[in-house]
């Protein structure tokens, strides 16, 4: 496991590094990435052998608390950090809190500004959910020759801006395969097929927590069902407690604190002295 010095200059072990992610371009190896928002989720990712997690920038401290080893990418959203200086400040804060890289779907000069400071920065191309109105709704991006060509130009521009990797969301798989072999950036596929360097799914979809599972996702668990069982069991237990109070069945003798009979007599006598 690679040893690095983190952004604070402290010794740290990481499952992977920026260099090893970029090196996937010349390898048949693929890494796995999932989302994490809590210490429990990042700890579970590490225990499962997941190399990379992505979280919102504000969640980095909690995620890093759960795992000191997974590669953490901090997502800088469209809210909050508006100007380039604010974006840069948010990125530095995320790195200081333990992130290894940042990801943003902001404009190219934002990516370039971060790269100028040697901040490992990922871009986001294809379907970007918060820009879905630009595509006419939720759909794959790159379904026509013209759209795929325009998308490829964005990949080239993003690489020129200094991004070392790019999240590729809901791009037709055959288009993604052609782009992947031509771009120098490490590619992270979210619903864009198998021809990428990193395979990415949301933890909530993997674990079966989501109400609506995207077509590109696969559920490997049923946490939603387990949560429903927990909810039902909580109500059952509370109902039984209330019923025992109504009937006098709670508390019983074994649940009461005891006092020696002689000690009790002495106590009562002290309350009502002659």
Q: Is the distance from CB of 52 to CB of 198 less than 8 angstroms? A: yes
> Whole-prediction pTM value?
0.89
Question: Which of 12-26, 57-71, 129-143, 155-169 shows the lowest per-residue confidence on average (mean pLDDT)?
Answer: 129-143
Residue-wise pLDDT tens digits, 218-245: 999 999 999 999 999 999 999 999 999 9
The Cα-based distances of 189 to 27, 168, 185 in angstroms read: 16, 5, 12
User: Which one of the listed residues 41, 51, 169, 209 is annotated catalytic?
Assistant: 169
Q: What is the largest CA-CA distance in the chain?
A: 104
Q: Is the distance from CB of 165 to CB of 185 less than 8 angstroms? A: yes
169 is catalytic: yes
> Could you give all domains of the chain from N- to C-terminal order, each with its CATH number?
3-221 (3.20.20.60), 226-271 (no CATH)
The Cα 175–Cα 185 span in angstroms is 16
> If pLDDT is split at 50, 70 and 90, which confidence band does 215 have?
confident
Residue 266 has pLDDT above 90, yes or no: yes
């Amino acid at each position: 496991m690679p040893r690095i010095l983190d952004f604070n200059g402290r010794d740290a072990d990481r499952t992977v590094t920026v260099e090893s992610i970029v090196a996937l371009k010349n390898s048949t190896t693929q890494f796995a990435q999932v989302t994490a928002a809590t210490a429990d989720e990042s700890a579970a990712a590490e225990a499962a052998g997941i190399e990379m997690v992505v979280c919102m920038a504000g969640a980095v401290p909690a995620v890093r608390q759960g795992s000191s080893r997974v590669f953490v990418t901090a997502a800088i959203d469209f809210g909050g950090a508006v100007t380039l200086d604010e974006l840069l400040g948010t990125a530095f804060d995320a790195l200081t809190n333990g992130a290894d890289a940042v990801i943003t779907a902001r404009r190219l000069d934002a990516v370039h500004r971060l790269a100028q400071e040697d901040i490992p920065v990922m871009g986001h191309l294809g379907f970007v959910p918060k820009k879905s109105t630009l595509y006419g709704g939720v759909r794959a991006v790159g379904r026509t020759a013209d759209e795929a060509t325009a998308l490829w130009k964005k990949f080239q521009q993003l690489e020129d801006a200094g991004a070392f990797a790019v999240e590729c969301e809901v791009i037709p798989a055959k288009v993604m395969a052609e782009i992947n072999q031509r771009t120098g950036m490490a590619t992270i596929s979210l619903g864009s097929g198998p021809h990428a360097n990193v395979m990415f799914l949301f933890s909530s979809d993997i674990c079966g927590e989501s109400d609506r599972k995207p077509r590109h996702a696969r559920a490997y668990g049923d946490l939603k069902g387990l949560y429903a069982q927990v909810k039902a069991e909580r109500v059952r237990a509370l109902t039984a407690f209330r019923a025992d109070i109504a009937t006098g069945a709670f508390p019983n003798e074994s649940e009461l604190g005891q006092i020696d009979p002689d000690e009790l007599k002495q106590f009562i006598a002290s309350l009502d002295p002659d």
